[in-house]
A and B are shown apart, each in its own frame.
Chain A
Amino acid sequence: MVLFKTSTKIIQQVEDFFGNVEQGALTFKRGVLNYLDNNRSGFRDNIESIVVFERKADDIRRSVESNLYQRSLLPQHRGDILKLIDSIDDIVDMSKEILFQFDVENPTIPEELHSDYRKLTSVTVSSIENLMHVARLFFTEPSKVRDAVHRVYSCEKEADKLALKIKRNVFSGNLNIDLSEKFHLRYFTLHIENLSDLTEDVADLLNIMAIKRIV
């Protein structure tokens, strides 16, 4: 009976964790868009919010980890699940770091690139949202993970294309900016691109975990 109660509690925590990551991803998107729109107060609010989401995700992760070990739950899947939660937690951490980098380094982004940056951010956040859907499926319908994971891969590919396009535009010579600014823009493109790469890595992990569950 105690184990049933504990399992219900952990299921709720895992659901809260995923919800928190989704909220963090949306806040990241709003933050980048507010930065591009030069809405400084909105951007500050987004930074404050993402710090809260990141901290909450860390707290839930620790609690899930200790509960799984203390109650000896999921002995066969525990290692994989903890790795999964750690990796997903890295997504929120990285989102927060990128917003902080925008805040600290204050990159100058030419108007001509705004549209592509918006698209890159949106497609990266879509990748995170799809990843959370796959993560939920792993726990309830592992046989559907294999198909669902392709949506994450497709978003990641789209993000790669957009990032390459931005980098080509930056270095094409059509923009009247210094070489140092070009490097700066390349790094910010790379930061967002890395975020979508991370979702691809977690999707790979989920795919393998699902196969292990099905076989």
Chain B
Amino acid sequence: MINRCELFWLFLSGGLLLGVSLGANDAANVFGSAVGTRMLSFRRAAVIASLFVIAGAVIMGEGTSGTIGSLGITVDIINAFVISISAGISIFLMTFINVPVSTSQAVVGAIVGSNIYYGYSTNYTELTSIVISWVTSPVLGAIVAVLLLLIVKYIIRRTRIHLIKLDVILRNLLIVAGAFGAYSLGANNIANVVGVFIPVADIYDIGFLSDTGIPKHYMILLAGGIAIAVGIIFLSKRLMQTVGHNLMPLTPESALVVVLSHSIVLFLFSSVWLRDIVHSIGMPWFPMVPVSSSQVIIGAIVGLSILKRANEINTKRLGVIFSGWIISPPLAAILVYILLRLNQLVF
């Protein structure tokens, strides 16, 4: 007879699989430029990314996970499982036809689909802030990338640094920016992996280190972080070695700027601490929502291409990516509806 603890982990596996998929795909956004331009070995990149993604998930993952948890009512753990599985299947289907999609969009689409199925109202305030963030985050990525590139170019020009020395400095900065990116990725995107499980975890004995007094949600965030790390270590190599060349060829300076922009934007959408400071002086701040790592990267690359007036950007590929962003949320919503209907019919 399966006990409640085993049941929890069995259903959480749906979210963890999503975490593995996220690690496999999104780690390339963080270290792809460095590995793709052969400035960093895959092994080194994978170890750094894994450690920092877990740290980000556990230390700062609470903010965005709270937003995902409050988007609608997660009825029970089976519902949470179906949401994760539907998001996972829609990502798989889109990836199968070679269209990159955002895990955040698939998860949000699935939560909305679940709300529609159960007849619960969606928290439209949160939904609106999430949908706005899908538009603002790539735009912000582009703006930050343009500003950073101008600063980097100015510094390089002023210091007249030798190309060989610059290469070594950029290599080290790419490692630092990548680590920051992995931390921000863990902090921001952990919500997609375990966000829907946290509200229903209270009634379960999760077993794992439960007698230590550490709150349950930290354990779940840790498990999600480890799942992302597994995806990075075992499944991200091929993508990491090819990303960065798909949309536009990147110089090492541009690669650094793209990774740094991505890290900064994800951090801005994840840091509760920063939000509280800005709110305390009466200023508006970014909502704590999981944004798409890929969308921010693409925004940054498009920003750089506009700055450089480059014709090298692959507009056809960009069109395919945009269409993926539009299709994936309704696809996940339809899938979750079908799966919940099937669940009702079978059980």
Q: Are B310 and A73 touching (Cβ within 8 A)?
A: no
Interface residues of A in 1-36 (CB under 8 A from B): 3-4, 7-8, 10-11, 14
Contacts of A70 on B, CB cut-off 8 Å?
none
Q: Are A75 and B38 touching (Cβ within 8 A)?
A: yes
- Given B160, B252, B310, which contacts A141 in the complex, CB threshold below 8 Å? B160
CA–CA, A66 and B202, complex, Å: 61
CA–CA, A141 and B251, complex, Å: 16
Contacts of A141 on B, CB cut-off 8 Å?
157, 160
CB distance from B60 to the nearest CB of A (A): 31
Specify the chain A residue showing the minimal Cβ separation from B171. A3
Q: Are A140 and B163 touching (Cβ within 8 A)?
A: yes
- Given A4, A77, A138, A213, which contacts B168 in the complex, CB threshold below 8 Å? A4
- A72 interfacial contact with B, CB 8 Å: yes
- B346 interfacial contact with A, CB 8 Å: no
B286-311 toward A: CB 8 Å interface, digit per residue (1/0)? 00000000000000000000001010
- A139 interfacial contact with B, CB 8 Å: yes
- B247 interfacial contact with A, CB 8 Å: no
CA–CA, A7 and B308, complex, Å: 29
- A215 interfacial contact with B, CB 8 Å: yes
- B276 interfacial contact with A, CB 8 Å: no
- Given B157, B165, B171, which contacts A11 in the complex, CB threshold below 8 Å? B165
- B316 interfacial contact with A, CB 8 Å: no
Contacts of B162 on A, CB cut-off 8 Å?
7, 11, 139-140
Given contacts A3-B171, A76-B251, A215-B310, contact A139 B164 (CB under 8 A): yes
CB distance from A57 to the nearest CB of B (A): 18
Per the CB 8 Å criterion, the residue count for chain B at the interface is: 17
CA–CA, A70 and B213, complex, Å: 51
- B37 interfacial contact with A, CB 8 Å: yes
Specify the chain B residue showing the minimal Cβ separation from A10. B164
Contacts of B308 on A, CB cut-off 8 Å?
215
- A143 interfacial contact with B, CB 8 Å: yes
Contacts of B38 on A, CB cut-off 8 Å?
72, 75
- B161 interfacial contact with A, CB 8 Å: yes
Q: Are B157 and A7 touching (Cβ within 8 A)?
A: no
- A208 interfacial contact with B, CB 8 Å: no
- Given A72, A77, A215, which contacts B163 in the complex, CB threshold below 8 Å? A77
CA–CA, A142 and B308, complex, Å: 16
- A74 interfacial contact with B, CB 8 Å: yes
CA–CA, A140 and B39, complex, Å: 20
Q: Are A140 and B161 touching (Cβ within 8 A)?
A: yes
Given contacts A75-B38, A76-B37, A76-B252, contact A143 B164 (CB under 8 A): no
CA–CA, A75 and B310, complex, Å: 22
CB distance from A37 to the nearest CB of B (A): 41
B74-113 toward A: CB 8 Å interface, digit per residue (1/0)? 0000000000000000000000000000000000000000
Q: Are A213 and B163 touching (Cβ within 8 A)?
A: yes
Specify the chain B residue showing the minimal Cβ separation from A2. B168
Contacts of B6 on A, CB cut-off 8 Å?
none
Contacts of B39 on A, CB cut-off 8 Å?
72, 75
Interface residues of A in 118-176 (CB under 8 A from B): 138-141, 143
Specify the chain A residue showing the minimal Cβ separation from B167. A74
CA–CA, A4 and B167, complex, Å: 10
CA–CA, A77 and B253, complex, Å: 13
Specify the chain B residue showing the minimal Cβ separation from A77. B163
CB distance from A79 to the nearest CB of B (A): 12
Top 10 nearest A-B pairs (CB, nearest first) are A75-B38, A140-B160, A139-B163, A7-B168, A7-B164, A3-B168, A74-B167, A7-B165, A11-B162, A139-B162
11 contacts between A and B (CB under 8 A): A3-B171, A4-B168, A8-B165, A73-B164, A74-B167, A76-B252, A77-B167, A140-B161, A140-B163, A143-B157, A213-B163
A residues sitting closer than 8 Å to B (CB atoms) are 3-4, 7-8, 10-11, 14, 72-77, 138-141, 143, 213, 215
Q: Contacts A7-B168, A77-B163 known; list 20 others, CB within 8 Å.
A: A4-B165, A4-B168, A7-B162, A7-B164, A10-B164, A11-B165, A14-B164, A72-B39, A73-B168, A74-B164, A75-B37, A76-B251, A77-B167, A139-B162, A139-B164, A140-B161, A141-B160, A213-B163, A213-B251, A215-B251
